[in-house]
Amino acid sequence: MDDEAVIATNDDASECKRGAVLLGYWQDNYIPYFIKHNQRRAPEINRGYYARVKGVEKIIHKFLSKAGSNAQIINLGSGFDTLYWRLKDQEIKLCNFVEIDFPAVTSRKCYLIKRNKQLLQRIHEKDQEVKLSPTDLHAGPYHCIGADLRNISELESKLYQAEVNFSYPTLFIAECVLVYIENDCVNRLLSWIATKFPKCLFIVYEMCNMNDTFANVMLENMRVRGCNLAGISSCKNLESQQARFQCNNWLGSKAWDMVSVYYSLPNSERQRIEKLEFLDEQELLIQLFQHYCVCLGWTTPEFADCDFE
């Protein structure tokens, strides 16, 4: 598997987010510190990122309202995601927040955090020291750690270093990550999480419905860029996304395509962002939304109603 090309997908996602933020799709004061380049993307791509960011945020807030003060978030394949800083701006306090990615990505993230006062200030907690190694950073509840998600024993020992409490309510996030990992490794990861975390919710954002011509064009574009989509076979449809959790000992799971997620967002917000850029072909946006989904898995009935309904 070509890890270099997978690692490069983080730059692409960060550039897309930065571009959409600059156009006013949503507010993120921190993404410009992580990525300097800005490529203008097509309006349907920007709307796709908007739906993804806001859809995931909606579930995060539902989880936090149920989880209480012991809540933990573990972002798998987090790339340059800025969620910790955005939650901090909303004065949301978490017991623990862990970001995991390949060491090649976390070393760059740690370096950028160290170099930017605005990023560092937000993670620095009174009376807590910031512990830094070339690939890992620990600062109070915030942890950025380098590990390969295919290696469970490495992941487990890194989570211990990050002082994760396995019995606390925990939200896992994997946005466009599992598709790059071989199915047997994803199954091992999901099954390990289900046994270790009795109170947990998992959000997957990923491709789905990958059996038509539109999907073939999307996949070809990604393969041209050198990406091995090792886990693509589990993206067949919403049922296969849900089944992946059920086959790996999760209590329940549910999936929605991005058409449903987009229309679950507040009308006024949708109207606002639809005025930002002219979109010639509405049909293209709907097609794109039909090929991405959010799937939730839970290990406790407490989180079964964190959804888009």
Segment 127-133 long-range contacts (CB within 8 Å, at least 24 positions apart): none
Cβ proximity to ligand SAM, 103 vs 252, nearer residue: 103
Cβ proximity to ligand SAM, 66 vs 196, nearer residue: 196
Task: Tell me the closest approach of the beta carbon of residue 78 to ligand SAM, in angstroms.
Answer: 5
Task: Tell me the closest approach of the beta carbon of residue 77 to ligand SAM, in angstroms.
Answer: 3
- Strands 130-132, 137-139: pairing is antiparallel
Cβ proximity to ligand SAM, 6 vs 59, nearer residue: 6
Cβ proximity to ligand SAM, 28 vs 257, nearer residue: 28
CB 17 within 8 A of CB 50: no
Cβ proximity to ligand SAM, 28 vs 175, nearer residue: 175
Looking up tokens 């039909």 gives 290
Task: Tell me the closest approach of the beta carbon of residue 105 to ligand SAM, in angstroms.
Answer: 5
Cβ proximity to ligand SAM, 19 vs 79, nearer residue: 79
Task: Tell me the closest approach of the beta carbon of residue 255 to ligand SAM, in angstroms.
Answer: 18
Task: Tell me the closest approach of the beta carbon of residue 1 to ligand SAM, in angstroms.
Answer: 9
Cβ proximity to ligand SAM, 99 vs 257, nearer residue: 99
Task: Tell me the closest approach of the beta carbon of residue 135 to ligand SAM, in angstroms.
Answer: 12
Task: Tell me the closest approach of the beta carbon of residue 203 to ligand SAM, in angstroms.
Answer: 11
- Alpha-carbon distance of 80 to 30, in angstroms, equals 10
Query: CA quadruple 254, 259, 260, 262: dihedral positive or negative?
Result: positive
- C-alpha triplet 204, 221, 40: angle, nearest 5°: 85
Q: Which amino acid is at 177?
A: V
Task: Tell me the closest approach of the beta carbon of residue 150 to ligand SAM, in angstroms.
Answer: 5
**Under the rule (CB under 6 A), what is the footprint of ligand SAM?**
6-7, 9-10, 13, 77-79, 81, 101-102, 105, 148-150, 175-177, 180-181
Cβ proximity to ligand SAM, 102 vs 262, nearer residue: 102
Q: How many whole angstroms from its chain centre is CA 47?
A: 17
Does an H or E element contain 99, and which? strand 96-101
And the tokens for 81? 């995601």
- Alpha-carbon distance of 72 to 171, in angstroms, equals 6
- Alpha-carbon distance of 20 to 46, in angstroms, equals 5
* Conformational region of residue 61, where left means phi above 0, alpha means psi within -120 to 50, and beta covers everything else: alpha
- Alpha-carbon distance of 240 to 231, in angstroms, equals 12
Residue 297: is it exposed, middle or buried by C-beta count within 10 angstroms (0-12/13-18/19+)?
buried
